[in-house]
């Protein structure tokens, strides 16, 4: 079906979009698969000036060790030699138990950072280690190669918690650096990543 354009009080048919209109295509750049891994990371081979937006998809990330675990990340400006970019963030969550006995929606102060080089938590609660418990979601990193602006990121992840419950985790913030960010590292707060996949996509400029 042709699009319709309004010009000077008249209508004309458009049969094709101009070539300059972006398509928003996502290109798969890399897949990291955990197998009792201490961490999963991506470096400048994939995070560089090729794309303005990078998206990480987390699929069934499951802890290797017993007890609830929290996934976290940090950024690097030296291709992974150090993961210590200063960050300021905010964190919110909503959760609901399988038994329908409790629910909550709240800001989570313990999960945010204020001008800190520490690893940023991506989930406010924890993911359980039962065989069917895992986390899934996504994180977007904006314009990491900029040497003018700070590096914004937004994540939304759902966890199957140890209680058990469903928790929706929303984390947003920025790396407070004007140096180009060229690597990122993901790990649990304790123990290894038993299994799961992180897919990295670049979004067409």
- Tell me: the pLDDT tens digits for 63-94? 998 777 999 999 999 999 999 999 999 999 99
Structure tokens at 21: 């209109």
The rounded percent of the chain whose pLDDT value lies above 70 is: 88
Distance from the Cα of residue 164 to its chain's centroid: 23
When the pLDDT of each residue in the chain is averaged and rounded to a whole number, the result is 90
Q: Which CATH number fits domain 22-203: 1.20.120, 1.10.10, 2.60.120, 1.10.3210?
A: 2.60.120
Question: What mean pLDDT comes out for the span 167-190?
Answer: 97
Split at pLDDT 50, 70, 90, the class of 205 is confident
Predicted local distance difference test score (pLDDT) of residue 67: 77
pLDDT band at 9 (very low <50, low <70, confident <90, very high): very low
- Write down how long the chain is: 205
Cβ-based neighbours of 102, under 8 Å, separated by 6 or more: 96, 165
CA distances (Å), origin 62, targets 32, 102, 154, 191 = 14, 24, 21, 11
């Amino acid at each position: 079906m042709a699009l319709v354009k309004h010009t000077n009080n008249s209508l004309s048919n458009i049969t094709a979009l101009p070539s300059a209109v972006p398509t928003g295509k996502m290109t798969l750049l890399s897949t990291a698969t955990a197998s009792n891994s201490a961490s999963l990371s991506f470096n400048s081979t994939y995070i560089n000036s090729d794309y303005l937006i990078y998206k990480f998809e987390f699929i069934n990330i499951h802890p290797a060790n017993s007890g609830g675990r929290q996934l976290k990340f940090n950024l690097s400006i030296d291709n992974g030699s150090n993961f210590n970019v200063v960050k300021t963030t905010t964190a919110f969550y909503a959760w609901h138990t399988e038994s329908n006995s409790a629910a909550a929606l709240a800001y989570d102060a313990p999960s945010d950072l204020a001008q800190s080089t520490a690893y940023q938590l991506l989930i406010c609660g924890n993911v359980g280690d039962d065989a069917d418990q895992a986390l899934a979601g996504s994180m977007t990193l904006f314009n990491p190669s900029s040497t003018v602006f700070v590096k914004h990121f937004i994540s939304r992840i759902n966890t199957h918690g140890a209680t058990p419950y469903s928790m929706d985790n929303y984390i947003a913030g920025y790396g407070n650096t004007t140096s180009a960010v060229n690597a990122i590292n993901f790990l649990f707060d304790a123990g290894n990543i038993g299994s799961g996949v992180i897919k990295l996509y670049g979004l067409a400029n």
